[in-house]
Amino acid sequence: MHIAYIHQYFTTRFGSSGTRSYEFARRWVQAGHHVTVITSTAQLQQEELSQTKNIKRGLKRLYVEGIEILALEIPYHQSMAYSKRAWSFLRFLTKSTFILAQLKNVDVVYATSTPLTVAVPALSNKFCRRIPFVLEVRDLWPKAPIARGIIKNKLAIKLALWFERTIYLKAAGIVALSIDMKDYIDKITKEPAKTIVVTNCSDIDLFKPLKGQEKQKVRAELGWENKFVVVHAGAVGQVNGLYRIVEAANRIKSYNEICFVFIGDGNQRPYLEEMVKGLKLDNVKFMDPVPKTELARILPAADIGLVSINKMLHTQYNSANKLFDYFACGLPILLNYAGWQKDVLDRYSAGLSCDNFNDEEFVEHLLRLLKNPDLRKEMGRNSRRLAEDEYNRDVLSKKVLDFAINRVLGKRQKNV
């Protein structure tokens, strides 16, 4: 089967952002399928770009572990203004539609959002060439940007919601990254079997717990000796609500051993750095993004894996990549929110979460973990078990592939 995989910011383990598409694509190639990824150069690394071949102006081709990658030269970064991001989305939409239309012998299109505009080339291809598509929903768009106040115009909101509904109805199948997302989508499609839940996954071959001298060595290199390290690894944007964590750090600065480490970048990082400076805090540190391969060495040296989100509608529906990396590292988890992740943590006793973004409860949970090393060890073991039993990338990538194939074959048989 030839799968055209559309993901605007595809990256490999050499990059610092989520590698779900890369991990899925390489496994599908190993299963005997031809996978062509249509993406941008935004998250590809210089070493990879140096191996590309220019097909035409603004379009490059390279092969990574058997994956054919067609990369458009379109910049994108979390620190970009919303207007520039929108322009980036529009450029990718139009150019990827043209590229997809020229691909030969495609059996199914797999489009992964955000943004949901990646579904436009898939929808166009369905109408013009009758090739079915499967949509992967990583974030509820346009609900999220509406909740953040990014989309305010009433007509624009109506058009965005109409577009969302159309895409869901026209997709051959939908992969949602959380049960809450599926529930929302099911209300639109009225067809529960059309959508399955496949959360983000744990790469248990890459992220592993560190113990003893090996862990102490890494901590020494990072300057984490005698510190209780609470790590956030990922985007530093509005949706992450890290200002709430800085406020918590200010409240508990008398606990000299506690140190919050933010690994990542985004449009909120300069604001947070100024906030830390203004509060004269020395218990909040910033690190630049690092490749996944390096992150796999750093994360397991921490004491707590932190997932923070802002108090916005629908944000608790998310499926943060960092959470599953923490699981694989065997870290106890601390969330500043609840949602479906709370149920997972409670069921496995793998961490603590806060109801209704309760900042008081967040501090209480943090101090409880600080003062109970045995509890941390137990939760760490349970986290790793979660990664192996529930979120193993090998198992979940096959689930998505089987679903995509079955939906495609089923649709085609009905049309015969």
Q: What is the pLDDT of residues 313-325, one digit of tens each?
A: 556 678 889 999 9
All structural domains of the chain with their residue ranges: 2-201+392-415, 212-389
Question: Hey, which bits of 273-319 come out as E strands?
Answer: 284-287, 304-307
pLDDT at 154: 87
Q: To the nearest 10°, report the CA torsion of 147, 148, 152, 158.
A: -40
pLDDT at 156: 86
Domains 2-201+392-415 and 212-389 fall in the same CATH topology: yes
- Under 8 Å between Cβ of 227 and 70: no
What is the number of residues in the chain?
A: 416
The CATH superfamily of 2-201+392-415 is: Glycogen Phosphorylase B; (3.40.50.2000)
Residue 364 φ then ψ, to 5°: -60, -45
pLDDT at 80: 77
pLDDT at 49: 87
Tokens of 168: 């869901």
Report d(CA 112, CA 385) in Å as an integer: 28
Q: Which CATH class is domain 212-389?
A: alpha beta
pLDDT at 413: 43
pLDDT 10s digits, 68-126: 999 999 988 767 777 888 889 899 999 999 999 999 999 999 999 877 889 999 999 99
* Ranges of the chain whose pLDDT falls below 50: 412-416
pLDDT 10s digits, 143-174: 777 776 778 888 988 998 999 999 999 999 99
